[in-house]
Amino acid sequence: MPPMVTVVVALLAGLAAGSAARPLIFARAVPRGEPNRTACPSCAAGYPSPGLRGRLQAATGRCSSCGSKAGPAAGLPELLTGVSFAALAAAGASGWAGAAQYWLLACGAALTVIDLKVHRLPDVLTLPASAGTLLLLGGAALAGEPGSFWRAVAAAAVVTAVYLVLVVAGMGMGDVKLAPAVGALLGWTSWTAVLWGVFAGFALGAVAGLALILTGRASMKSHVAFGPYMVAGAITVFSIGV
């Protein structure tokens, strides 16, 4: 078990990362084809207001000028990222490979809020998620950490190809662009981790979809935001060391 101070530091870092991502989430959480938002939809005031005070006010989920709802719900991205970081630290994430997990989680938390809201995964987050994960795993390889960078690269290509084929079955291109990050992280450990991690993503998505149907919040024809489960499955399998 890592020292409690490590978990607390990870929690604080996650809260800060979630706060930093809030303006990006506000701008991109719009239906596909619509322009990015830069101001409050009610009063056209800039979002967030300049300075630290403006960012703190934005964390309430309301416009600092008119008080109407603007951006993600109060504390949502901050708590999502903070709790995820703390859990990762408690699981013992460390080194460059650990940094790759934190990076994917930071991008994944922001993507989760957007995907659940408007069912899209914008390139501004999916592409850096994949590039950053591969870059950090390259650092892990140079540092001599246990794992294989070339297997990670191969797994990234294989998982991306699988998701690309699934586009004909309704898979979104945002999921395809996020697939290299998921494949690379799992491939760093083993091909077994790749299989279990991808399966875990689909299993979590299926369970969530079934729960929505049973509670009357979705139907068999409803689109399920799949990005969050891709990331959750990969991080879970990587953390338990399959």
- Residues in the chain predicted with pLDDT less than 70, given as ranges, are 1, 218-222, 242
Residue 46 phi, psi (nearest 5): -60, 145
pLDDT on residue 45: 79
Residue carrying the six token digits 């809260």:
15
Q: pTM for the full model?
A: 0.91
Q: Cβ–Cβ contacts within 10 Å for residue 145, how many?
A: 16
Say what the pLDDT of residue 242 is: 63
Q: What is the pLDDT of residue 82?
A: 96
Please report, in angstroms and rounded to a whole number, the separation of the first and last CA atoms in the chain.
Answer: 19
Q: Is residue 181 a contact partner of residue 133, using CB atoms and an 8 Å limit?
A: yes
| Contact between residue 27 and residue 36 where contact means Cβ atoms under 8 Å apart | yes
Q: What per-residue confidence (pLDDT) applies to 67?
A: 76
